[in-house]
Amino acid sequence: MTEPLLVALDVDTVDEALALANALRGIVGGYKIGSRLFTGRGPAFVEQMVGNGDRVFLDLKFHDIPNTVAGAIAAATRLGVWMVNVHASGGDAMMRAAKAAAVDEAAKAGTPVPLVIAVTVLTSFDQHQLAGVGITAPVADQVRRLAALAQAAGLDGVVASPLEIGLIRDACGTDFAIVTPGIRGAGDAKGDQSRTLSAGEALAAGASHLVVGRPIIAAADPRAAAERIAAACAGIAVRP
């Protein structure tokens, strides 16, 4: 099993998601459930995956007032998720409330505290798109700023493109999770991702976890595709 490799179950139905999870179990380290599947099927599927013993990264990118986000994180913790995320641009108070809710809810239930991580700058953004929402700082500077803010708020790590792994490690050290989405398979086009690398390149750069979607789930043989990516990662030292 390649523990850092997380597969994005970006499909429409539980049947599709379960078929993928069953095909990939033993190769990958967990599964990302995002807004597409969660909106259509709800928390029951998350509980089902957790009940199967799978690590679930609930990727809903919460961004709201602190009290609302705290309530959502508490609910995610009750579902038994392994990792959950918020938007770092929600600010210090919101992130602190999110982490506190995870700790408090896990203590009540006697369960492990989920990792709470923050999205920095979406991997679909380039400099032009960032400027379009009023942020004139270079992408790298904005990522560094938000990663440092998340760490100061007590979060466990961030979501960032592999191109910013080095600067995050420099700013936040080695004991800070970096989850990199939009990972390409060998020979794959970028698609809608502007800032991406291959799985091996991202791990070598210092990523903690890799989120892979289409290169695996859209493959004719998802298990074989996952095995190829896992093989490309073999022997590369992984950060916490």
Could you give the residue numbers annotated as active site?
61
Among 195, 184, 212, which residue's Cα sits nearest to residue 121?
Answer: 195
Among 81, 150, 71, 82, which residue's Cα sits nearest to residue 104?
Answer: 71
The contacts of residue 235 (CB under 8 Å, 6+ apart) are none
Q: Two tokens at 189?
A: 């086009």
Q: Two tokens at 179?
A: 């989850």
Quote the DSSP letter at residue 112. P
Q: How far is Cα 59 from Cα 119, in angstroms, rounded to an integer?
A: 10
* Beta-bridge partner residues of 8: 32
Q: How far is Cα 183 from Cα 127, in angstroms, rounded to an integer?
A: 20
Q: Which residue has the tokens 């798109």?
A: 129
Per the CB < 8 A criterion, the answer to whether 143 and 164 are in contact is yes
